[in-house]
Amino acid sequence: MIEGPDKTNGIEPLPTALRKTVVASQAKVLITLPWQKHTNPATSFAVAMITDKRRVSLVPCAGDAYVIHSRNTLAEVFLASEFEWQLQIDDDMFFPFGDAAAFKRYARIPNLSDEFAGMNTIDRLLSHGKTIVGGLYFGRHEFGKPMYSEGCGTKAEATFARKAPVNLIKPTRWVATGCLLVHRSVYEDIEKRFPRLARGPNGKGGNWYSPSEHTAMDWIDKTREMLSAGPMTGDKAFKAYEMLEVASAEAKAHSSLGQGEDVCFCVRAKQAGHQPYVDFGLVCGHLGPQVWGPHNTRDEQT
């Protein structure tokens, strides 16, 4: 059973014995693939290994160099489907797929036990009962940071993340979208909270991942409506000033300009009542010249 809007603020330790069979195994999962052109063979292999046609289907969105378009398009396809859950997999991810030996042979992450290397990513993420939860991975270079908010924010948190795998999940401001499980209610609740970002009557045009000044525009519309009713007075002018000051403050606090689409999406999800989580037990490789992870990234010396 999934939880509703999440109010947990602390670390959530998981049972010592990882749950390999979960009630959620009957859940319908749509794997969406925002792949531009070329995909690492290891990613394709891992996706094939977790694609059980009895409960899983695949939808690619290829050829669009602007990944935000792909993520919004795939969200629209997901919401128009019968599936309850969406698992996003980027074209440079290598994630556990139920075969420990095969995963370790390619990932080459030291000290990765069979218990963690042999996970099935779908079962693992579903088992938490969270509406938005992502695997742990690192930037694709020597000084790659853990790809979640606090991991990118402090050296102490990055050091902790490099101890992974650790059998726990943590709430976070945002978690990267490369291996992210999302319940359909997250998208629906963002639309309710922010109608400007919602799909149109034809089910198209959703902007869950797009940078937008929707909060400021909402206040501008409220101010315009207030000023347009009846004669102008000094009190109305002062009220308009107060409303625009609120618009400015809220825009500064919640502006998504200059932020990645993963940050935009997770911040909006939290505002709509869904706490994002990062799973320290699900360690994914980030594919480049080598498989980047907790074992071969480090803090840049200052």
10-residue mean pLDDT profile of the chain (302 residues): values are 44 40 63 89 95 92 85 96 96 96 92 94 97 97 95 94 95 97 98 94 93 66 73 81 76 64 94 97 95 92 62
Indicate if 249 and 129 belong to the same structural domain.
no
Same domain, 160 and 189: yes
Identify whether residues 175 and 154 lie together within a single domain.
yes
Based on the fold, state whether residues 237 and 148 are members of the same structural domain. no
Structural domain that includes position 225: 213-254
Instruction: Report if residue 283 sits inside a domain.
Output: yes
Q: Do residue 222 and residue 91 come from a single domain?
A: no
* Tokens 């042979």 -> residue: 105
**Does residue 205 fall inside a structural domain?**
no
Whether 88 and 230 map to the same domain: the answer is no
- Shared domain check, 136 and 26: yes
Q: CA 210 to CA 68: how far, in whole Å?
A: 6
Would you state the pLDDT for residue 143? 94
241 and 265, same domain (yes or no): no
CA distances in angstroms from 196 to 8, 191, 211, 212, listed in the order given:
28, 8, 12, 9
Number of domains in the chain: 2
Answer yes or no: do 84 and 221 share one domain: no
First-to-last CA distance in the chain?
46
Task: Identify any residues that bridge with 183 across adjacent strands, giving them in sequence order.
Answer: 85
- Let me know if residue 199 belongs to a domain: no
pLDDT of residue 21: 35
- Output the CA torsion 43→44→46→48 (10° steps): 160
82 with 161, same domain: the answer is yes
In a domain, 124, yes or no: yes
Asked if the peptide bond before residue 165 counts as cis, ω within 30 degrees of 0, the response is yes
Assign residue 125 the CATH number of its domain: 3.90.550.40
What average pLDDT is seen over the chain? 86
Residue 284 forms part of a structural domain: yes
